[in-house]
Amino acid sequence: MFLPKQRKIRTFALLIGVITFTTFLFSYTFRDPSVDFFRHAFRLSDDFLSKGQCACPRCVAEAEDDPWFAERFNQSVHPLMTRENSVLSEETFKWWQWLQSERRPANFSEVVEELFRVIPDEVLYADAGPKRCRTCAVVGNSGNLKGAQYGALIDSFDFVVRMNQAPTTGFEEDVGAKTTHHLMYPESAKDLDNTTSLVLIPFKTLDLQWILSALTTGTIKHTYTRVPSRIKANKDKVLIYSPTFFKYVFDTWLEGHGRYPSTGFLSLMLAVHICDEVSVFGFGADQYGNWHHYWEENDLSGAFRHTGVHDGDHEYNVTLQLADKHKIKMFRGR
Known binding-site positions for substrate = 100, 141, 164, 224, 260, 264, 284, 293, 310
Q: How far apart are CA 171 and CA 146, in angstroms?
A: 8
Q: How far apart are CA 190 and CA 233, in angstroms?
A: 9
Instruction: Count CB neighbours of 27 within 10 A.
Output: 9
Environment class of residue 269 by beta-carbon count within 10 Å: exposed (0-12), middle (13-18) or buried (19+)? Answer: buried
Could you tell me which of 73, 79, 78 has the C-alpha nearest to residue 200?
A: 79
Q: Which of 78, 181, 182, 310 is catalytic?
A: 310
Among this protein's residues, is 248 annotated catalytic?
Answer: no
Among this protein's residues, is 288 annotated catalytic?
Answer: no
Instruction: Count CB neighbours of 89 within 10 A.
Output: 11
Q: Which of 260, 273, 292, 294 is catalytic?
A: 260
Active site amino acids: 260, 310
